[in-house]
């Protein structure tokens, strides 16, 4: 848990510095790329966590993988190395993106559907999220055929389940109680 708190502190400091230098969006793009790449590459994740691999090798690998990174992002890598916290890079990146989106009034919403959302449905769901929360949302569509139809919307701590599987389950409970 201490790692999570440290990641948030690094992310807050990074966001503050990036805003001061008018490069918050560029750093956010770097952080999204970092988080996505580390999450998708088990080898990269293992390398960052490994106490056997030296900091100079880790730094050169990261700079080779993320060649076009912003100067502030490279400075973050240097800071994490100096403080022996490079293993937190993925968490720092995720926290930075979250804080940056919050500062812009954005949030992440997860929509689980049986089939992929069309552009029209994406627009309707985005409008519904904005009406419910007052903020814009970046929609992430998860396809789960087991819900049969309808959708499950998660925004922060809120969840709205309008799936057919949920409605069938409610009917089943009502009939078994009677």
- Read off φ and ψ for residue 176, nearest 5 degrees: -75, -25
pLDDT above 60 (res 1): no
Count Cβ atoms below 10 Å from residue 30 Cβ, excluding itself.
Answer: 23
Q: How confident is the model over 53-70, as a mean pLDDT? A: 90
Token pair, residue 154, equals 């998660």
Confidence at 104, pLDDT banded by 50, 70, 90: confident
Q: What pLDDT is attached to residue 14?
A: 93
Q: What pLDDT is attached to residue 178?
A: 62
Q: Count the alpha carbons within 13 Å of 87 in the hemisphere toward its beta carbon.
A: 11
**Considering the entire predicted model, what is its pTM?**
0.70
pLDDT above 60 (res 119): yes
Q: How confident is the model over 144-162, as a mean pLDDT? A: 83
Helix, strand and coil percent figures for the chain, each rounded to 5: 65, 15, 20
Q: What pLDDT is attached to residue 2?
A: 56
Mean pLDDT (the chain) is 88
Confidence at 169, pLDDT banded by 50, 70, 90: confident
- What is the percent of the chain with per-residue pLDDT over 70, rounded to a whole number? 98
Q: Which fold has domain 2-102?
A: Peroxidase; domain 1 (1.10.520)
Confidence at 107, pLDDT banded by 50, 70, 90: confident
Q: Roughly how many angstroms between the first and final C-alpha of the chain, as a whole number?
A: 47
Q: What pLDDT is attached to residue 13?
A: 93
- Rounded CA gap, 81 and 37, in Å? 19
Q: Each residue of 9-21: pLDDT tens digit?
A: 999 999 999 999 9
Q: How confident is the model over 88-108, as a mean pLDDT? A: 88
- Rounded CA gap, 14 and 17, in Å? 5
Token pair, residue 109, equals 């919403």
Listed by start position, the domains of the chain span 2-102, 106-177
Q: What pLDDT is attached to residue 117?
A: 85
- Rounded CA gap, 53 and 56, in Å? 9
């Amino acid at each position: 848990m201490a790692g999570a708190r440290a990641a948030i502190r690094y992310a807050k400091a990074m966001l503050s510095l990036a805003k001061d230098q008018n490069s918050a969006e560029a750093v956010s793009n770097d952080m999204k790329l970092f988080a996505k790449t580390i999450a998708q590459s088990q080898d990269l994740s293992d390398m960052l966590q490994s106490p056997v691999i030296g900091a100079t090798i880790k730094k050169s690998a990261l700079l080779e993988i993320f060649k076009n990174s912003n100067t502030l992002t490279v400075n973050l890598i240097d800071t994490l190395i100096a403080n022996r916290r490079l293993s937190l890079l993925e968490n720092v990146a995720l926290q930075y993106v979250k804080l940056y989106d919050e500062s812009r009034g954005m949030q992440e919403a997860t929509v689980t559907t049986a089939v992929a959302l069309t552009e029209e449905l994406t627009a309707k769901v985005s409008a519904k999220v904005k009406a419910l929360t007052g903020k814009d949302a970046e929609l992430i569509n998860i396809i789960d055929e087991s819900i049969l139809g309808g959708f499950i919307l998660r925004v922060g701590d809120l969840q709205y389940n309008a799936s057919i599987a949920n409605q069938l389950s409610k009917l089943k409970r009502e009939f078994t109680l009677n």
